[in-house]
Amino acid sequence: MKTSASMFGRLALAGLCASAAFAGSAAAQSPAEFFKGKTITILIGTSAGNDYDFRGRLLSRYMGRHIPGEPQLIPRNMPGGGGVVATNYVAAVAPRDGTTLYMIMSNMMTAQAMNGQGVTFDTRKFRWLGNTTSSPNVVNSWHTTGITTIEQTRTQELVIGAPVGTAGVLYGTALNKVAGTKLKIVTGYPGGGEVNIAMERGEVSGRGSNSWASWKSTKPDWIREKKLNILVQVGLTRHPELADVPLLLELATNDLDRQVMTFISAETSIARAIVAPPDVPADRIEALRRAFDITMKDPEVIAEATKTSLDLSPMRGEDAQKIADGIVNATPAVIERARELFGNLVK
């Protein structure tokens, strides 16, 4: 049987119309209709058992009840490259429909601004849903060293552990070059947990960086037993619990270096944020942002966080977005000076 060209044309046109109608129907779905029955993956760019992981799993247990349609949330760890592997995945591979969210590592914006190794993402295309804490990062000595202030390290060497490419390497380098300290940075550790073990064994005398919130949630006994001496905090304002500890930016001796220290400190204001990939529909982003806000006020979330010493100082996604974009959009003068100070330390 012969089929005319016009018949093929009519069939093709009918197929296109059906596809357009289906696409239009999908686009017309409300967030509740879209998310109902769905499973949302919360990617965590680290291995299990740390502060990022704890927070991602906390959100996975409670946030779904506040998202329209009440989808199920499941956590998934994707470590590698100090967070770069997961961030590249979210930027280029993850679904762009709201079914993948990401606990982004706080140094990703700085890594992008400084053309870090392996970076192919643009965090300005992500949508920040909210931030769970603005806890500062800290540099510490171990209690057996006798070093209790950063001033002492201007005359005494302190050996600190900091895995390659991490914030601890940047902070130690900044302190040596800008504040005149004598920190010896040992980078032969795969992660912060191994640095902690090295401190206990006496292999190193301190740690180049850890979140104050992370110390409180993972090693509350060390804080209680005064095994940690906090020498410097990295943030934009002093944390109330560390009121006598100087900020990294306060140790700079000229305006440009102070701007650079502010540049590398700003990320702590959005230390534990959750983001969505590029191009997720705006109404779903709005629904996810408001669900995050409600989750942070959920009495069960607050009770669990309090029980586990998990600091919560939440920030709306819209506000976190401005800080994140501001880091990437730092002025050329600040970026140039940062590269002078840190060379190729940003991996």
Domain spans of the chain, in order of start:
31-133+272-330, 137-267
Residue 107 CA from chain centroid, whole number: 6
- The closest of 92, 161, 82 to 120, measured between CA atoms, is 92
pLDDT score recorded for residue 344? 65
- Give the helix ranges, DSSP H, for the chain: 5-27, 31-35, 51-62, 84-92, 108-113, 167-179, 192-201, 212-218, 220-224, 255-265, 282-295, 299-307, 317-328, 332-342
pLDDT score recorded for residue 345? 65
Dist. CA 225–CA 223, nearest whole Å: 5
Instruction: Show pLDDT as tens, one digit a residue, over the chain (347 residues).
Output: 444 444 434 534 444 444 444 444 455 799 999 999 999 999 999 888 888 999 999 999 999 999 999 999 999 999 988 789 999 999 999 999 999 999 999 889 988 998 888 999 999 999 999 999 988 999 999 999 999 999 999 999 999 999 887 888 989 999 999 999 999 999 988 888 899 999 999 999 999 999 898 898 889 999 999 999 999 999 999 999 999 999 999 999 999 999 999 999 999 999 899 999 999 999 999 999 999 999 999 999 999 999 988 889 999 999 999 999 999 999 999 999 998 998 766 54
Multiple choice CATH, 31-133+272-330, 3.30.70.660, 3.40.47.10, 3.40.190.150, 2.60.40.1180: 3.40.190.150
Q: Is 285 exposed, middle or buried (0-12, 13-18, 19+ CB in 10 A)?
A: middle
Q: Which CATH superfamily is domain 137-267 in?
A: Periplasmic binding protein-like II (3.40.190.10)
pLDDT score recorded for residue 7? 43
Instruction: Please indicate whether the domains covering 31-133+272-330 and 137-267 agree at the CATH topology level.
Output: yes
For residue 10, which amino acid is it?
R
Residue 308 CA from chain centroid, whole number: 20
pTM of the model: 0.79
